[in-house]
Amino acid sequence: MILPLGTYIYRGSHSESKSAMHYIGQRPEYLRADLPVFFAEDADDVEVYGRAVKYQTTKSLKLLNMGDLKTVVDLMDRAKSEELKKSIGKAFRVSSGIIRRVSKIKYDIHVAVFICKLGYDGYWAPRLKGKYENTFHPEIVLCGSRDVLKVVAIEGARGPPPRNEQRGVTNDIRASVSKSVYL
């Protein structure tokens, strides 16, 4: 899938929205550079994580479609380690030909890093079934997001206060990524 130049995407975060105010019209130097970063196609989908920051792509991006069953199965086959296979299987669970998206950063980050190492600019996933009857919002994950985005605006909070259930990238997760075999 190609994400065209000029596409708007969003990321929800209270701490990043404060930094983003100083980068309107510029590259988001405050985003982490060492690991992929998660975004959504719609501001409403990220407000559970904090105020939505609106970004625009500065070039066309080649994204792997993680809503495609064949793609997920192919990634499992290409994984060199059991840890990576486990991460793919936990994050994108395949059962009876259906992909279910279960998001836990300790698995998600390994999938994203693997896709980046395969030469993609990241991945895109459509709205997928969740663990139970719920759904998981469409998502975009970018490698090197600092270099391919510019900050457009900070959207006002429209929904309920963000939930703090999801933890971000920790030093333990960084250490796990650095020890992992991807290719």
Q: Residue ranges per domain, the chain?
A: 2-156
pTM of the shown model: 0.88
Contact 63, 120 (CB under 8 A): yes
* Closest among 103, 94, 102 to 74, alpha carbons compared: 94
pLDDT tens digits, the chain, 183 residues: what are they?
999 999 999 999 878 878 898 999 999 999 999 999 999 999 999 988 888 999 999 999 999 999 999 999 999 999 999 999 999 999 999 999 999 999 999 999 999 999 999 999 999 999 999 987 789 999 999 999 999 999 999 986 554 454 544 567 888 888 888 888 887
Give every CB contact of residue 169 below 8 A, 6+ residues apart in sequence: 32, 35, 105, 109
Buried b (16+ CB within 10 A) or exposed e, 148-162: bbebbbbbebeeeeb
Contact 182, 87 (CB under 8 A): no
